[in-house]
Amino acid sequence: MLFFTQCFGAVLDLIHLRFQHYKAKRVFSAAGQLVCVVNPTHSLKYAPTRCAAAQVSTEQGILPPFHHHEAVHDPQVVPCTCPLFSCPWEGHLEVVVSHLRQTHRINILQGAEIVFLATDMNLPAPTDWIIMHSCLGHQFLLVLRKQEKYEGHPQFFATMMLIGTPSQADNFTYRLELNRNQRRLKWEATPRSILECVDSVISDGDCLVLNTSLAQLFSDNGSLAIGIAITTSKVHSAEAEM
């Protein structure tokens, strides 16, 4: 009888531990929105040359030609655009998601509206918080970066990239929302394509930008909750209706 009681206790403990682990990964808030806890990753190395080349080509409407290989590539072949690492990988757009999941262990979440809960906001710059978001038949990459654009004054930059082409990205609008302490800040824009470079989006400041003091006002116990919503662009919806 004692053996069975102990076994039952052990099973209960395991269930409790599993629940705690699950709760830390994904929590359903009171409003029913999916909350994803995102831990920070220190940026190891940026590769501005790769990004600069990719950006110039996409601005001209041409996809990255990968000069370093000196060969004509399939335009749907992209280098690893994970902003954290200077990763030598390159592959088709269709396999970028599995590469990011498997090699860089970036989580993917489902749902039109989620809450991105970035932990340890007080860590020194440079630090990134990254997650993938699957929605409306596409995958998006949300990047929150703490970076010192002006020495000694770290800022937070948040943007969303579509894992797709720039013309596909034009079909969507993303919204990032901070809401705490009787203050609300909303940023809405068209996502950039992953073929463009997150580094240049951030250096251009074409994203949600937060000073440290504002980030502290919006954060709770060192964590910053960002509400994310993705919709199809009104312009394109109207065109589709016509």
Identify the CA nearest to 158 among candidates 82, 218, 217, 209.
209
Q: Does 3 bind its own copies (CB under 8 A)?
A: no
| Paired sense of beta strands 183-189 and 172-180, if any | antiparallel
Q: CA-CA distance, 33 to 110, in Å (whole number)?
A: 11
Q: Does 59 bind its own copies (CB under 8 A)?
A: no
Cα separations (Å) of 191 from 28, 91, 172?
A: 26, 21, 7
Identify the CA nearest to 225 among candidates 175, 179, 156, 173.
179
Within a 10 A sphere around the Cβ of 56, how many other Cβ atoms? 13
Q: Quick one: which of 108, 123, 125, 185 contacts its own copies (CB under 8 A)?
A: 185
Q: Residue 18 or residue 153: which is nearer to its own copies going by CB?
A: 153
Q: Does 18 bind its own copies (CB under 8 A)?
A: no
Q: Residue 134 or residue 190: which is nearer to its own copies going by CB?
A: 190
Q: Quick one: which of 59, 74, 206, 239 contacts its own copies (CB under 8 A)?
A: 206
For residue 115, the surrounding DSSP H or E stretch is strand 113-118
The stretch among 22-30, 104-112, 123-131, 147-155 that binds its own copies (CB under 8 A) is: 147-155
Q: Quick one: which of 150, 238, 240, 242 contacts its own copies (CB under 8 A)?
A: 150
Q: Does 180 bind its own copies (CB under 8 A)?
A: no
The site for its own copies (CB under 8 A) is made up of 149-150, 153, 173, 182-190, 204-206, 209, 211-214, 217, 233
